[in-house]
Amino acid sequence: MRFLFLLIIIIPAMDIGVLLFSGKTIGVWPTLIFIILTGIIGAYLAKREGLQTIRRAQEELRYGQIPSESVLDGICILIGGTLLLTPGFITDLFGLLMLFRPTRKLVKFFMKNSFRKWIDRGNIKIIK
């Protein structure tokens, strides 16, 4: 929880700093255009990847499988799309990393390990 609290404070502060630096370096209008453009691209990518993930989950359910990978993909896509819609260069970078399939695999690996640790510690209980 402390780690999350630090992220909530540090990432926006860094984003503001980078935005101010960008405004001074390339100008205010190019910075604003870039922010708007990444938001539009992020919404498009999140929609496209989200629809593919829903189709994949439906296909897995059709064959009687639990769509665990698709659920993790969906979580990553939701977080990535939200980060891309948030103004800032750092959040845009993390959002893009969560939307692209090759880098999303790495994020899913860390998510699975975190879930395993929570289950081993007893923070999450699975009832059958």
Q: What are phi and psi of 66, to 5 degrees?
A: -80, 125
Domain range for 82 is 28-118
The pLDDT, as a whole number, for residue 1 is: 66
The pLDDT, as a whole number, for residue 2 is: 74
> Count of domains in the chain?
1
> Chunked in runs of 10, what are the mean pLDDT values of the chain (128 residues)?
80 91 93 90 88 89 84 89 87 89 88 83 71
**Position 127 in a domain:** no
**Position 14 in a domain:** no
**Position 101 in a domain:** yes
Please give the full DSSP string across the chain, using - where no structure is assigned.
-HHHHHHHHHHHHHHHHHHHHHHHHT-HHHHHHHHHHHHHHHHHHHHHHHHHHHHHHHHHHHTT---HHHHHHHHHHHHHHHHHHSSSHHHHHHHHHHHSHHHHHHHHHHHHHHHHHHHHHTSS----
The pLDDT, as a whole number, for residue 86 is: 85
**Position 3 in a domain:** no
The pLDDT, as a whole number, for residue 128 is: 64
**Position 11 in a domain:** no
**Position 123 in a domain:** no
The pLDDT, as a whole number, for residue 122 is: 77
